[in-house]
Amino acid sequence: MAYVARNHQIFQNFIKNTKFFIIPCQALGLITFSYNNKSLQLSKVLQFLNIFRMCFLTTMLGYTAYSFVVVTGDKISKTANFLALVSGGVYCYVVWINAILQNRKMIDFFARVVDFDSKIRSFNWTSENYEHNKKKMARRVIVKFLFLLSYILFYGISDTRVTQLHQMVAQQGNFSMLVMNASVCLYTNELVLMLRSRFAILNREIEKIVTYFHGVHTVDKNNQTQKRVADFGKICTLHHHLQKLVKLFNKIFGVTLLLMFGFNFVMITMTLFFTSGELHDPNVNLSNVLYVLMMSVSYVLDSWTICDSCYFAIEEAKKAGVLMHKIETDNPDLIDEIEMFSLQIANEQVDFSAAGFFPINYTLVFSIIGGVTTYIIILIQLAATLKEQ
């Protein structure tokens, strides 16, 4: 399957705008299609690389799991590390398999976004500012990269405890999963922001219609009024177009996001539990505490970023329903369009979810906080009981 752009200029601008996250995602196996200046197409090479990654990960996980079993040590630490290893491995497998299975839908997603931008340009409306978005996207990618780089460099300089091969392999696995999780977060977050910015474009056009009809009660069918009515009908159609894109996003990334939040929950709980244990140690190692906290902060920020973007994208989509009811008009055609738009928004509400298990918004953040707190208390009590025995 391949998508060939009709409007080459808009497609080229779109690709330049998204290149900052497409290239890293291709390198990590999150995207298995390639692109040029005119089209998007499936890539067998990128799909094969994902299969190779899964084979390599299986070997690494098998060796590390065996090492944890045969090496003596604290039972809670071994169990926690093994749990993180298994959950991280399953997470990576699902991400790579999903990238192969959903690549056609992903191409369709990008194609529909470009189609939306082409229609906005053809209507002579205020379109997406690709250059401005490109700079903002580049800043987000660079900040994420610098944080991960500083974390890895800090650990390499300060930690001297990792001396055995299985410890080195496990630590490299932790770094890899941290980078993978950050990349999944960056990828999905950029797509949600992409949808949010386009909902905002439609809302600005509705605001123009509200301003035009403010204080004007007329049934006259002059050219300007008819143009506004026609524009509102186009907004209704394009809003429905974006609603379908949100549904497509949920189909593509639902399982991935479910595993991402599950993995983040496990890692946040573990890192905070180990931090608590380190702080209770009389010979506390502050560099080790800082290292674990930085890992925890990374997973917390990844979870919060996705929830924040999804929440404001939903609010931006809902804003259209509020704005259109501010239009003051007696025009029967426009009144009919408003009623149809209201029914459309009511029947097809915009919502991001993790494979239908739970909505992705700020309520999920509070649920994670409550769950992490509960399990940390349980683990601390369990650790104290085992030490007494």
Highest-pLDDT range among 87-96, 120-129, 246-255, 371-380: 246-255
Q: What is the DSSP string of 198-252?
A: HHHHHHHHHHHHHHHHTT-------HHHHHHHHHHHHHHHHHHHHHHHHHHHHHH
For the segment 229-238, the average pLDDT, to the nearest whole number, is 88
Determine the residue type at 43. S
pLDDT at residue 139 greater than cutoff 70: yes
Rounded to two decimals, the pTM is 0.88
Position 323 scores a pLDDT of 87
pLDDT at residue 352 greater than cutoff 70: yes
Per-residue model confidence as pLDDT tens digits over 298-319? 888 889 999 999 999 999 999 8
For the record, the structure tokens of 236 come out as: 């209704």
Contact 186, 144 (CB under 8 A): yes
User: Which residues have C-beta within 8 Å of that of residue 8, sequence separation ≥ 6?
Assistant: 37, 38
Position 248 scores a pLDDT of 94
CA dihedral 133, 139, 142, 145 (to 10 degrees): -90
Helix, strand counts (H, E) of the chain: 10, 3
Contact 228, 212 (CB under 8 A): yes
What is the band of 241 on the pLDDT scale with cuts at 50, 70, 90? very high
Position 245 scores a pLDDT of 93
Contact 250, 354 (CB under 8 A): no
What is the band of 296 on the pLDDT scale with cuts at 50, 70, 90? confident
Position 356 scores a pLDDT of 87
Question: What is d(CA 325, CA 83) in angstroms, rounded to the nearest whole number?
Answer: 52
* Higher per-residue pLDDT: 140 or 308: 308
Position 169 scores a pLDDT of 58
Q: How far is CA 114 from the centre of its chain?
A: 20
> Three-state SS string across 46-84, please?
HHHHHHHHHHHHHHHHHHHHHHHHHCCCCHHHHHHHHHH
Range from 84-98, 152-166, 268-282 carrying the lowest mean pLDDT: 152-166
Pairing of strands 33-35, 39-42: antiparallel
Position 210 scores a pLDDT of 86
For the segment 180-199, the average pLDDT, to the nearest whole number, is 90
pLDDT at residue 23 greater than cutoff 60: yes
Closest of 317, 312, 310 to residue 345, by C-alpha: 317
